[in-house]
Amino acid sequence: DIQLTQSPSFLSASVGDRVTITCRASQGISSDLAWYQQKPGKAPKVLIYAASTLQSGVPSRFSGSGSGTEFTLTISSLQPEDFATYYCQQRNSYPITFGQGTRLEIK
């Protein structure tokens, strides 16, 4: 199975900050990575797929990059509604796996 390790697991930041979350895969997965945002009590929402393609309707302050084993999700200027938990997910091979999550909280 492909393991995904996110760092950090917890991040405290302020409105307006630029933040970056990293996802490392245990083996190469090309660009087969998606990012999701989940707010408490809600279903996840896809932000980015194919490592860097912005899902329709997602604000442009979100961006993704990387390929192979290292990927990043960047939020260029944090907004109050961005405080949530973020997950990466690989779609390269079965079983589909998720990272453990990064909880982003207001400083």
Partner 1 sequence: EVQLVESGGGLVQPGGSLRLSCAASGFTFSDHYMDWVRQAPGKGLEWVGRIRNKANSYTTEYAASVKGRFSISRDDSKNSLYLQMNSLKTEDTAVYYCTRAILVAGRTHFDYWGQGTLVTVSS
- The values of phi and psi at residue 81, to 5°, are -75, -5
Total number of residues shown for the chain: 107
Of 46, 58, 51, residue with least CA distance to 33: 51
Amino acid at 89: Q
Q: Does 101 bind partner 1 (CB under 8 A)?
A: yes
Select from 16-24, 61-69, 70-78, 95-103 the region that touches partner 1 (CB under 8 A): 95-103
What is the footprint of partner 1 within residues 4-33 (CB under 8 A)? Answer: 32
Q: How far is the CB of 52 from partner 1 (least distance, A)?
A: 12
Whichever of 80 and 95 has its CB closer to partner 1, that residue is 95
**Cα–Cα distance between 67 and 25 in angstroms, integer?**
10
What residues contact 67, with CB distance under 8 A and at least 6 apart?
A: 30, 31, 51
Smaller CB separation from partner 1, 16 or 81: 81
Binders of partner 1 in range 31-90 (CB under 8 A): 32, 34, 36, 38, 43-46, 49-50, 53, 55, 87, 89
Q: Find the DSSP H helices in 13-105.
A: none
Residues that bind partner 1 (CB under 8 A): 1, 32, 34, 36, 38, 43-46, 49-50, 53, 55, 87, 89, 91-92, 94-101
